[in-house]
Amino acid sequence: MPGIVRIGTYLPRHRLSAATQGWPHASSRAVAYHDQDSLTLAIEASRRCLMGFDLDKVDAVFFVSTSSPFLEKLSSAFLAAGLGLRSDVLALDIAGSPAGLGAALEAGLGMIASNRARYVLIASGDCRDAMPFSSIEALSSDTGGAVLLGRQGVIAELEGSSFLTLPILDTWQLRHERYLKDTEERFIQEKGYLSALPKAMEGLLQKMGAGVHDFAYAGIAQPDPRRLGQAAKALGLGQKGLLGERLYKELGYLGCSTPAFLLEEALQTMTSGERALLLGYGDGAFAIALKAAQGLEKARPKNASWLFRDVAHYTDILKWKEHVLYAPRARRPSLDPSSPISLFRERQQNLALVGVRCKGCGYPQYPAQRLCTRCRGTDFAPEPFAEKRATLFTYSLDTLGPTPDPPLIVCFIDFEGGGRMQCLMTDADPKELNIGMPLEMTFRRLFVADGIPNYFWKCTPMREGKS
């Protein structure tokens, strides 16, 4: 039976909390860095989901987000390129609703069941456009999630689903408006999720001929984490087996990625044969039934790293998210826009971080060379560098560089197995830099000039563990 094969989640390294000066809310929230957006978050989650997997087996990729960096452009095409997937995959964007991941699961499973795809990757990322000091800002975190569907190596079977569509103006954003809007809280609660979620769940249980007692766990992806207990009560669910309590308490609502985090938590806890309910809200609701497969215990998903760095001051976030204009530290000419033609020509090198390996001496090199820097040979094979570990060879700090969070860290790194690259470092404290320190690569947005985004790879200190 088709089902979930793998899950990956990603949390940005930075956090807003009580330690952040000027943060106007009592909550703590994960926040994207100035060089991250919903696409880069989705790629990082997908890399964790696909680690060690044969990428040539992925036949379709869906990008789910309410905050895609493009209004007219397939973000899933950039997602596929950044992951190094085949160019003949089906790429699809699902936008407009935080419940989009439920629809993506339904569509992906349909493709696999009808033998139109072997594996389908669903990647989500959200950096919701919340107005500063608003309740949406207080409740929302920036995160990424990814789910791989297939027939082989299934760790959870999807037994059934039910959907409800509800044209309700609860939270919305018009095309030419900068920020999300929401209406009266009680209206959203009573006419929105406390009305839609029970109907979707009832429809699922009727289809399956099952009851709430047949499920050991339940995860509710809904936009107001403060109402989790109230939503569970309305659904007839007890506190036992209720997923997401720590998630909502420490991170709040994760937008389109919320179901992925709840699925990950369920599959870290369930045993073979146990069932779980996944419920989601957004312009209606969805309910999905899961059953843990026999191979789950040997292939449980790993947690995203919960090790954060607290943002020093709230004004830093206002600059990172371009809520305010600010004077740069140095007067310099504006950044020249990248050429769309050169970006297309070098898409494999820039988006997938593919260099070359000399067929004569075996030495890997990035970027691609015409002559091998070691043996002067001219015969090369493609060599991907994105998943390689590296160490810091040398670096410099540019305190006047074009960045909203100076200093700009420019460095040379040495890859394991050979190869040296000049790049920028991100998510790093200059006081903690040491020559030889371990690094990994991360997909980021370098800059946007004249409306043209430039995505590339940076290095970042290794980030392991869970706080």
Do 82 and 209 belong together in one domain? yes
- Domain closes at, from 249, 274, 301: 301
Do 276 and 222 belong together in one domain? yes
What does each C-alpha distance from 389 to 83, 205, 270, 437 come to in angstroms? 16, 47, 33, 11
- Does 320 reside within a domain? no
- In 3D space, the residue among 225, 93, 98, 75 whose CA is nearest the CA of residue 173 turns out to be 98
- Domain closes at, from 301, 331, 365: 301
- Does 313 reside within a domain? no
Question: What pLDDT sits at residue 466?
Answer: 41
- Does 328 reside within a domain? no
- Does 314 reside within a domain? no
Do 278 and 357 belong together in one domain? no
Do 179 and 53 belong together in one domain? yes
CB 408 within 8 A of CB 433: no
Do 292 and 159 belong together in one domain? yes
Q: What CATH number has the domain bearing residue 162?
A: 3.40.47.10
Do 269 and 347 belong together in one domain? no
CB 106 within 8 A of CB 264: no
Is the overall model pTM greater than 0.85, yes or no?
Answer: yes
CB 217 within 8 A of CB 173: no
Series of mean pLDDT values for 10-residue runs along the chain (467 residues): 94 96 94 97 97 96 96 96 97 95 96 97 96 93 97 95 95 92 90 92 96 94 82 85 90 95 94 95 95 88 86 95 82 75 91 96 93 94 96 95 91 95 96 96 91 93 65
Q: How far is CA 282 from the centre of its chain?
A: 19
What is the number of domains present in the chain? 2
220/203 Cα distance (integer angstroms): 16
> Could you give phi then psi for residue 221, rounded to 5 degrees?
-95, 100
- Domain closes at, from 301, 328, 352: 301
Question: What pLDDT sits at residue 465?
Answer: 47
Do 388 and 441 belong together in one domain? yes
Do 137 and 258 belong together in one domain? yes
- Does 330 reside within a domain? no
Residue 323 burial class via C-beta count within 10 angstroms: exposed 0-12, middle 13-18, buried 19 and up: middle
- Does 64 reside within a domain? yes
Residue 127 burial class via C-beta count within 10 angstroms: exposed 0-12, middle 13-18, buried 19 and up: buried
Owner of token pair 């810091």 = 392
- Does 134 reside within a domain? yes
Phi-psi region at 427: left, alpha or beta (left = phi > 0; alpha = psi -120 to 50): left
Do 167 and 215 belong together in one domain? yes
Q: What is the domain range of residue 400?
A: 340-461
Do 108 and 19 belong together in one domain? yes
Do 215 and 269 belong together in one domain? yes
Do 295 and 397 belong together in one domain? no
- Does 425 reside within a domain? yes
Question: What pLDDT sits at residue 464?
Answer: 64
